[in-house]
């Protein structure tokens, strides 16, 4: 009986070691993904098909795209590198509104896509104007729920604090509205 008992100890030890390696390996694989990123508008510094394609420093984070949005599902870049030291918090004045888009931008697209309209509080509208003035001709991304929703090149400063997320399926808009409930300040 002693031989049997001593035989189980190395087996248990091997299983515990394998479990430890599995846990440490999983943590290493996802260490740069930041799911606690505040909702807001961030400078987009890079994109990659896999998280391992990107490398973040202390003031950056790697986040996944939200695949509920058609343009994200079709894009080969599933991860974005964002600058976290300067961003515009998504603090909105009232519940965003959804409107149907009767004219799809892609010929032959029969998906009913909507537009989500958002208005920022005045303080954050001014931050958005300053932010987009600083980053004209650079890419930014809107982050909601720890995931990139959309990316845009800033062509000119955004004045007035009004944003629009377009090409939003009804399901994606509903999820966004739910995730943005904590950002509404009347």
Confidence (pLDDT) at 106: 55
pTM of the model: 0.71
Mean pLDDT over the full length of the chain: 77
Question: For residue 19, how many other CB atoms are within 10 A of its CB?
Answer: 10
DSSP 22: H
Polymer length of the chain: 186
CA distance 52 to 177: 31
pLDDT per residue over 40-62, tens digit each? 999 999 999 999 999 999 999 99
Tokens linked to 79: 């991860």
CA distance 73 to 77: 9
More confident residue, 99 or 143: 143
Confidence of residue 176 (pLDDT cuts 50, 70, 90): confident
Among 4-13, 28-37, 107-116, 129-138, name the most confident range: 129-138
Confidence (pLDDT) at 16: 45
Residue 87 has pLDDT above 50, yes or no: yes
**DSSP per residue, 71-137:** HHHHSS--EEEEEEEEEEE--BSS--EEEEESS-SSTT--S-EEEEEEEB-HHHHHHHHHHHHHTTT
The architecture in CATH of the region 37-183 reads: 2-Layer Sandwich (3.30)
Residue 115 has pLDDT above 70, yes or no: yes
């Amino acid at each position: 009986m002693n031989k049997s008992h001593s035989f189980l100890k190395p087996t248990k030890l091997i299983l515990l070691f394998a479990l430890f390696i599995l846990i440490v390996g999983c943590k290493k694989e996802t260490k740069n993904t930041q799911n606690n990123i505040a909702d807001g508008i961030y400078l987009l510094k890079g994109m990659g098909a896999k998280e391992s394609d990107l490398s973040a420093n202390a003031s950056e984070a790697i986040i996944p795209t939200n695949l509920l949005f058609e343009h994200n599902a079709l894009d080969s870049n599933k991860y974005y590198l964002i600058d976290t030291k300067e961003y515009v918090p998504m603090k909105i004045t009232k519940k965003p509104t959804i409107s149907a888009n009767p004219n799809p931008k892609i010929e032959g697209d029969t998906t009913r896509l909507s537009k989500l309209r958002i208005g920022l509080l005045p303080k954050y509208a001014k931050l958005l104007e300053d932010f987009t003035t600083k980053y004209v001709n650079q890419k930014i991304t809107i982050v909601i729920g720890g995931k990139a929703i959309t990316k845009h090149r800033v062509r000119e400063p955004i004045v007035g604090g009004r944003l629009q997320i377009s090409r939003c399926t009804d399901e994606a808009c509903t999820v966004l509205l739910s995730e943005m409930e904590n950002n509404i300040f009347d």
